[in-house]
Amino acid sequence: MSDKADDADALVELQLRAAMASRQRPVMRPFTGCCYWCGESVESPRIFCDADCRDDFERNAATKGSVKR
Ligand SMILES: [Zn+2]
């Protein structure tokens, strides 16, 4: 069972495409070269290393509101 990583990649792509299709991108996040959540290096144009990091980041952002320091 080595498909976990591929599944995560596919999930991220699906979510990206869905977001782009519906234009639900309230916050534009610039590519920094690092995962926004855990700091791992990622390749353009990704800003998270996998869907888990994205979900955790979004959940955290939604919980704490727009201000986070
Ligand atoms: Zn990460």
- How remote is the CA of residue 49 from the centroid of ligand 1, in Å? 4
Angle, vertex CA 24, rays to CA 41 and CA 33, nearest 5: 10
Q: 20 alpha carbon to ligand 1 midpoint, in Å?
A: 21
pLDDT of residue 27: 64
Q: How far is the CA of 22 from the centre of ligand 1 (A)?
A: 25
Please report the beta strands in 18-65, taking only residues with DSSP state E, as ranges in sequence order: none
Question: 47 CA distance to ligand 1 centroid (A)?
Answer: 8
pLDDT tens column, 14-69 = 887 877 776 655 567 899 999 999 999 999 989 999 999 999 999 998 887 655 45
Please calculate the CA angle 28-35-38 and round it to the nearest 5 degrees: 130
pTM, two decimal places:
0.52
